Each structure stands twice: as C-alpha cells, then as structure tokens.
A and B are shown apart, each in its own frame.
Chain A
Amino acid sequence: MKNVNAELFVLPGFIGVFIFVIMPLVDVIRRSFQLGGMGAFVGIENYKTVISNEAFLLAVKNNFWFVVISVLLLMLISLIVSIEVHNMKNSLIRFIFLIPLTIPSNAMAVVWKILFADAGIVNNILVNGLHMGPICFFEGKNVFALFVGTFIFKNIGYNMLIWISGLYAIPQEIYEAAKVDGAGYFRSILYITLPNIKRSAFITTILSMVNSFKIFRELYLIAGNYPDMNIYQLQHVFNNCFLKLEVNKLSAGAVLTAIVILVVILIIRIMILTEWKDVFQHIRLEKWRRTGMIRYKDRHCVKSMEGAKQYDEKENI
C-alpha cells in the first residue's frame, strides 16, 4: 500500500517529464535522421553535415575552452570563498554573493554595455583616471575574458550555496580532533575538507558546466546572433539554424551535444566520486590472484582491503 501511494505521487511529475522532456527528446532524435528535419530518412547524413560544418566546429572549440576555463576558475574561486564564508560568524555575508544571481540577464546586458563599451565607464576610468590606453572589451580575447568573468560573477553565489551545504555536513569533531593532533589550517582543508566534499564537488561541477551554457543569454543580448569569433557558441549555431529553419542540422547538433555532455558528466562522475585508493588496491589484488599470491592471502585469511594493506606493509611489498 505504501509503495502504491508513492507511485501515485510520482505519476503527475512523470507525466510532465514524459510530455515535455522525453517526447520532444525522442522527436529531436527522430528529426536528426530526416531530410530537412521533416522529410525522408537520411541515416547519419545530417550528423556528417554538422561535423563537417565550420561554424559548428568553431562553436565547439569556443564552448570547450569556455567550459574548461570558466568552470575550473569558478570551482576554485567559489570553493575558497565558501570555506572563508563558512568560517565567518556573520551569515549575512553569504547573501551578498547571491545578489548577482538575482540580476536579470537583460539588466546585466545593459549595465555591461554601459560599463565596458568603448566609451564606457571602465574605459573612461582607464583613460582619464589611470592615464592608460582604452581596452576594447567587446572584441578579441578580451570579450572572452569578459564573459568568463561575467559567468563567475553571476554563478559564484549559487556554487557557494552547494559548497557550504557540503561543508556543513562535515562533523566539526573531525576538525577538532585534527587540531588536537596538530593539523594546521591548510592540512585540515587538504585532508578533511576536500575528501569530505566530493559529492558537493560533483554536483557543483555538473551544475557549473550546465550553467556555463546559459551565459548565451548575456552573450546574445550584448552581441546578437553573430558576435565576435571568440565567443561564438553552440547556442548561436542552434539559434541561427532555427532562424534559418534548418531543423535537420539543429537536431543533429543538439543530439551530438547531448551525447558529449552525457559522456563528460560520466567521466566527471568517475573522476570525482570514485575511491581511487580502493580501485588501485583492487587492481593489486587482481594482480596477486594472477601471480599466485592469492593462495597466501587465503592462508592468512586476508579478507579485506585493509588486511591486504597491512600485509603489504608487513612484507614491505
């Protein structure tokens, strides 16, 4: 009876997900194999077209670098901020970091234009206040850096919340015990904090990666459909394909992107959540089994990893 009730509660949500997520997804996959997105079946022709498309490749390259640089920087900066904020007694300070999250993209685009335009406030300060040369923020590598900064500025508060929830889950007693054992501030972070926030790290990485695609809103509002080559992203390709009604390219590109993201998420999951120490020892046990060492293990009743480790240390292997 308990199980039946639970299913009933899940059902409305599932119907919503089925209609609004799964069905369109299946439709997109179907269209990616059709001529013009609605004609005859053409196999992987659309995928070939997309993969050989220069604009798509440029967008993939730009997206890759944007994700790598911005997500890594965001993770690092937000973690440092979170640890500091977590240790602070004044809880109000963490809300300050949430303010950028509340700024609508349109407003941010307007403010950024005022600030960073060629004759904007920042250049005015640089030229008139600091007697430096003006910087063209909306061109070349500068525009890339500007949007990496924008992404970090906007998402730091969001990431901080996830980090802090992870930090709260670490029992304070461990820190106190480490302190008694003579561990310093950085040792505590390295050996207690970081190993205990792996799950938060995984969630933060995935969400940051997904959010890095959302910077398109600001990009689009500031630079339009055809921005500087350095910030031309996958969403520009998709958006422009839709405007040209090239549904086939759009669908194939979307499916490819989804697959790549899925693979990347799996890789990140494996990289972050796997207990690599256990894995290595498991590999070592396998090695023993193959070399006859397992008989020794059986004889000495080495039944656990810990036992194998102790045996290694004893035998100085």
Chain B
Amino acid sequence: MQRNKYIISVCVSVLFLLVIVGCNNSKNSESNINNLGFKSYNLSSFEDLDTVLGVTQYEERIFVFGGMGNEIIYEYSSIDGVTWNKIEVSSCIETNNKIVHLRFVDLDENGGLIVGYEIIGRDGSIESCNVWKEENGESVELNSTNISKMICYNDLGFIYDGEDIIAYKKGFTEELFSIKASNMVDFCANENEIVVLNENEINIYSMENGEKKETDSIFTDLYKDEIKSTKDRMSVEALSCRQVMKYISENKLCFALENGLYTYDLSEKQIECLLNNVDNDYKAMSDVIYGYVVGNDVTTQGIVAICSTDGEKKVVLYSDKEVTLGDEEESTQQKEEQSEITVYSLYYAECMEMMLDIFKNNNPDIAVNYIWGIDDNSGISVSDAVSSLNTQLLAGVGPDVIVMDGLNVRNYENSGNLLELSDVILEIEEREPSCLMEIMSAYKTDNGVYAIPSKVQFTVLVGPANDIKNINNVDSLIDYIESCEKPNFGNDLNFYEWEAVFDVLYPIYASEIIDSEGNYDEDMLKEFLIKLQELYDLEINRTTQDEITSWKNENGEYAQVNSITTACMKPLYNREYSGQRIAFVTMERTSELWKYYSIKYSVSIGSNTENMANQDYTYKVWTNDGANLYIPSLIYSINANSKEIEAAKRFVIYMFSTDIQKQYYGDSMHLKQGNPINMDAIKIGNDEMLQMGTPGGVEEIGGNKYLFSAYFPNDEDMNEYIEILNSLKLPVNVDATVEEIIKEQISDYLNGNSGVDDTYKTINNLLNVYLSE
C-alpha cells in the first residue's frame, strides 16, 4: 500500500514537472519576441511606375528603378521618401531588335547602374541572360538560364537562376562560387556572409568560398506559415523585384513577410516584430512590397518600403515615431466620416478578400469587413452556416452585402430580407455600359431584382472544329468518344472520379430538372441519371487503375483541388502524344481561356517554326434549346435591414467596375471567381498584362515544352472571348440543396450498388418533399 502511494506520488511529480517544463519552453519561444508597435505612413506615390526593377540605397539617397516596356528604365531618387527626382535611363541596352526582359536593377559600389536582363527568343524562351553596367556601358553574357534575382554588394554581384546563387567578381566577369538554393525564398549578403532564407531554415554561407557556415531555424520555425505564404505570393507581379530579407547590421536581418515586418538577431536569437496584421494595420492581402530600405537603427529611422496597393505604387514609412504628414487632418476627418459594411459569403474565397482590398483602397470612406460561413478547415456544415446567417438576418444584424453563391436567391427574396436592386443595376449600366445587362438581370422577376451576378462560368466542349461541330448533346458526345480510339494515357475527357463527371454534367441539366420557378421535371432527372452513368461508365471502362492513380498523383484528389479544368485541357497541347482530342469542361475563370488559346497556338519552346498542329481547335459553349448556357457566379445581394444601404450599394456597384473586373484573383475551392462580365475590363486587363511583358509559364507534355500565356495573344482571340460572353443567354439555376440531395445518392448508383430505378425513386421522393416543404 505504502509502495503504491510512493509510485503514484512519483508519477504525479514527474507529470507536474513535465507540465512545468512544457509551459516554460513555450514561454521561452514567445518571450524572445518583442512587439515594437510600428505604424505605417503613406509618404508619396508614383504615378507612372510600372514594373519595379529595384529598390536600393546609396549614401543618403533612396533609389527606386522602374521599367517601362523593354528598354526604358526610370530612376527615382529621394532623401526623405516624400519628394522624388525622376530620370529616364533609356536605350542603355543593345537590343538588336530582340525582345528584352528587364529583370533587375541595382547599384554598384560607385553608384553606377547594374541592369540584369534576359533576351527572349521567338518561341518565348530565354535565349541569354545578361548584365549591363553603366560604368563602361557594356553588357556581359552570363551562364545562367534565367535571372530570378540579382543583387550587388560592394564590388560583388549575385545572380539566382532558380536553382543556384552564383557569386560574380566585380563587373560580373568571373564566377567565384555557387550555392545550391533550389527552394529559396530570398537571399542577401553582407561583408562576410550570404544568408539564404527558405521555408524551413536560414542558411548562412561564407562570403569567401560559399561554404555553409551555420543553419538557424528559430525564426523559420515560428514564422513557417508566413514564410510559405510570402513565397506563394511572389508569383504576383512576377516581373517586379521582391525583397523579403535584408541585412540591417552585421548580425541582424529584417524580414518583410506577408503578415508582418520582423527583425531577427542571428547571434542573440532575438526576434522583434515591428508590426503585423494582428496588432497593427500592416498591409492588405493584395498589397505587394517590392523592396525596402532600412538604416542601421531601425527604431529611430524606420523602414521605407515601396509597395503596391491596387496597382498604385506607393512609398510607405513604417515607424514607431508619430509622423505628421500634410494630409493627416484630412485623413482623421475622413476616418470620422467612415461608414462600415460587412460582406458575407457562404464559403471563404481568396478572390473576395482581394476584391475587398481593392475596394478599400479606392473607397477609403467605407470600411469593409469580410466574413464567411465555411472555410476549408472549419468543418462547419452548409446547413449550420446557413442557419447562423438566417439567425442574424432575422435578428436584424446580418451582413450588409451577401454573396449569394450557394444560397437560394428565391428563398431569401421571398423572405423579404433582400433589398430591391433595380436602381443599382441602372447605376451600373450608366457607369459601366460595357457590362452585360442580360447576365446582370439573370435574377430579375416581376417583383424586381434582388440579386446581381458579377461573374459567369460556362460549360464548353474544346476540340477540333470538325469533330465537335456535331456534338450537341450527351448522346452525341458519347457516340463521338466511342468512335475514337482510347487515348494513349488515361481517358478521353480526363474524368477519373465520379464527382468530376457530375460537376460538369449537372449544371447542364440543373435548370431542366428544377427550373427557377420550382417546376420539377421527373423525366429529366431520370435522363440525367442515365446519361451520367453512360458517360461515367464509358470513361471508366477506358481507364486502368494505374492511370487513375497516376492522375491523382499528378493532379491531386478531385475533392481537394480548386479546379481540374486546366488539367483536363493540358494533354491537348500535344494530342499526337496524349491521344486526347477533346475536353469537356466548365470555364470557371479567365485563366482557363488563356490556357485554351495557349493550346491552340501550342508554342513549342526551343522551336523556331510556327506550330500549326492545334490551329483547328475551337471551343463550343454548351447549349439548351439553342441558347448558350451560363452559370452565374459572385452574385451580390444587399440586406434589406442594412443600416449602411448606400455604402452597400456603392460596394456592389464597384464590383462591376473595371478596377475589379479586370483583375485575375487567387483561386478557392468552393467559390469560383468566374469570367468577367465587364467587356472593357477584359480589354484593359489584357493590355495591362501585355505591358508587363509576356507573363505565363511552361507546360511539358510528352517531352515537349509549351508556352502558357497568361493573356490573350491577339485581339481576335480576345474579341472571340468577348463574343462568347455576349452570347450567353440562358442562366443555369443550380439549387445547392437539390444538388446535394442528388449527389448523396450518386456514389452508390455509379458504383453499381443501386440501380437507376431505385436511385431515381429515392431522389424523386426526396425532391418531392423538398419542393413541397
């Protein structure tokens, strides 16, 4: 007995000690972070700065280099960050009629310009990487395959080509050493060391020979997610420079991450948080920090950063000192007059967050909060989220603007909770005459308009014009597939999971099964079930398990990816290799159209001859009774009980402006951004993309590399796209509840556990109950 007591007391003591040690450890990791509570101040803005090629400091002056087109470099310099002196540095590089991508500009130890640039071949590939030096006006060709980053420190130069950091002697004439850094986020150098930041650690290399000296993971362990999101966001405005990490002093680094500005003392292991999005207003999600300069004492001098908010390039000072600027009084007054609205969407969408940032930047008198019912990690069911929203609406405290995607517009309209929006439509029509009125009026009834879609999606068939011209329904699609030989890899449409077939096919039938007035056609339900099974069985019978596994390994499980549209179209680049001739997809965003045109031109990298292999490709919008179908998305409604109705209306109207509609946003799993309905925005957006150079990427199919252009290559294609959007006539009424009821029964049905009659009977019963409720 005594012994047992002894053992128990020892166990309890050990547990107690473990708890104490655990608490102490966590305290330690938190205690080495100081919050300095910096604030941000707008110093000035650049009106004509396009691509930011470099941000640096020489002696007392701050230098910002901007690129315009292929040859012109603008140099902006300032002492205080408020007034800037602009110089045009033109025709400094011999182009020899070739396309030049200006990549980075920095200053050497004497203040002379060093310009890193790439020469682009006809096929869009990089022919050579070069550095031009103002010192002697000469260019040096480098061995690198591309220039992903360039910095100069004293008389040394460093080039990162996506794999290695290569150190060059003065004037980039001789390679000194290289450092392997394939997963790097950023690097910087001081007299003794080169520091490389990646998601997991900070590696410190010797400046003498490039050998690794030390690895530090204290900072990266704490800010792993932020570093990752910073890396992910580096693809935004990919042609501009991006400085994440810089030396402040011998052992102290400064980090400009997505959610905060930090300093880290490598010797003391001390972190200082200058400001972040939790405690201060650091930066919006859509903002970009291109570069910054910081003095030796960050607490007295602050940090001057060159940022972009909604395309406008600004100079921002981050400091813990109170800074009085000329327009402060005005901004205080503005703040007092500010109205506040809340925007709700059922699913979290990154695109919404980015749109809201743009709105906020252009409408400083309206503060916007974004809330959502479900995000990818919350595990909340749709009905719980809807219940929560309805409770708020009935209590009169609901959101001001509701994004109706996934919600039943008619139910909310009939409940009297939505505001009539005819005047909003008229206002949009007046301000943005190129917006498609027919789509905006998709939810118009005799009682008025209570919801306005701002984007659209549509189902298309992509393939050789002769092949697809006779495919007008699912039967002819099935006949066509049966008449074709099985592709060399996978199946004809790249449907490997039943959800993929369902999600493309269901919108086509949705309005025929239950129309917007709630009329239910039982025969259509049965037809849908039969066609779904025929198409699914046909595709799966032409697929091996290895091919399914291989697809999932390459593209991910269907339920966990944002969209498979581009993946379904990708094999069409090289149809000789893949054997795939057509794609049956929903065009959920503009990038999918870019992909289509890239496939059509299939510019093969490394080949100088024009590729005509896919010139016969076209895309055909799926029709019903001769009318082109479309799925409305990002549908806006205003809460009738909102206390800020005017501000809410302004927000909704702004969502149709070119500022919002021209942008391409981040993708989300549930709430898709759709295709724009403002035709001017498409043109302006494309012009801006072209001004940036030729953004895009490379796709590899069957050993060949093809160019993916993130823009419409020519006006004809863009006009064709605009024409297609104009031709969309028949809105698809996708009732989320009906879809869920049908979807729940489909798994057993398609897997052969339930026959068509049983499945039909079950769904029919449930739909009858749903409709009679």
Contacts and interface: CB of A to CB of B under 8 A. Distances in A.
Interface residues of A, number: 26
A39 B753 CA distance: 48
B494 interface: no
Given A229-B769, A237-B773, A36 B390 contact: no
B769 A226 contact: yes
A40 B769 CA distance: 28
A224 B766 CA distance: 12
A245 B773 contact: no
Contacts of B394: 245, 247
B753 A226 contact: no
B383 A225 contact: yes
A246 interface: yes
Contact of A226 (B386, B415, B741): B741
Nearest to B753: A118
Nearest to A36: B416
Contacts of B765: 229
A38 interface: yes
Given A36-B414, A39-B416, A229-B765, A243 B772 contact: no
Given A118-B753, A224-B744, A226-B741, A245 B417 contact: yes
A285 interface: no
B390 A245 contact: yes
A142 interface: no
Interface string B347-387: 00000000000000000000000000000000000010011
Contacts of A296: none
Contact of B768 (A37, A54, A118): A54
A64 B297 CA distance: 78
Contacts of A244: 408, 411, 415, 773
Contacts of B766: 226, 229
A153 to B, nearest CB: 25
Interface of B is mostly: helix
A54 B765 CA distance: 12
A23 to B, nearest CB: 14
Given A36-B416, A38-B416, A224-B744, A243 B769 contact: no
Contacts of B393: 245
A245 B772 contact: no
Interface centre among B414, B415, B744 (most CB of A within 10 A): B415
B386 A247 contact: no
Contacts of B737: 225-226, 243
B412 interface: yes
B58 interface: no
A39 B393 CA distance: 15
A268 interface: no
A274 interface: no
A226 B770 CA distance: 8
A232 B772 CA distance: 13
Nearest to B386: A243
B516 to A, nearest CB: 15
A177 B200 CA distance: 85
Interface string A23-37: 000000000000011
Interface in B394-415: 394, 408, 411-412, 414-415
A281 interface: no
Interface string A107-134: 0000000000010000000000000000
A144 to B, nearest CB: 15
A242 B387 CA distance: 7
A53 B769 CA distance: 10
A245 B383 contact: no
Contacts of A249: 773
A120 B210 CA distance: 61
Contacts of A37: 415
Contacts of A247: 394, 415
Contacts of A224: 383, 744
A241 interface: yes
Interface in A190-249: 224-226, 229, 232, 237, 239-247, 249
A181 to B, nearest CB: 54
B773 A55 contact: yes
A247 B772 CA distance: 15
A256 interface: no
B290 to A, nearest CB: 47
B383 A243 contact: yes
A-B complex: 10 closest residue pairs judged by Cβ atoms:
A245-B415, A54-B772, A55-B773, A244-B411, A55-B772, A226-B766, A55-B769, A36-B416, A243-B386, A229-B765
Interface of B: 383, 386-387, 390, 393-394, 408, 411-412, 414-417, 737, 741, 744, 753, 765-766, 768-770, 772-773
